[in-house]
Structure 1
């Protein structure tokens, strides 16, 4: 499980996918999120701008990202 450390109070879902290297660009992030391939805390998430905070877990293609402060 990869960890992303927050610089601010939150990171947006699309940015987190890019930061973790799971997608190559913002356009790629938008497409996989719109296609329902990304889960946040076990629930499918369709909003690229979803704010992720400390403790959130993102899942995409059997990879997980944990958001920490």
Structure 2
């Protein structure tokens, strides 16, 4: 990623901070993000589910979740 100035740097860092604190798992927190309080409910259904990707910072970082 090519950073083009101070405003762009602040935008990139703010976007990554949101990803880091709300989505990215952390080993020392039992794979929970810092702002999560408990593990999501485990689903044991055998139906295939569609996986959705959200591109963060133009695809430099990706977040994945299952479609409802």
- Place the TM-score, normalised by the shorter chain, in its bin: under 0.3
Q: TM-score, normalised by structure 1?
A: 0.23
The structure with more strand, counted as a fraction of residues: 1
TM-score (norm 2): 0.24
Higher fraction of helix:
2
Higher relative contact order (CA 8 A, sep 6+): 1
Larger Rg: 2
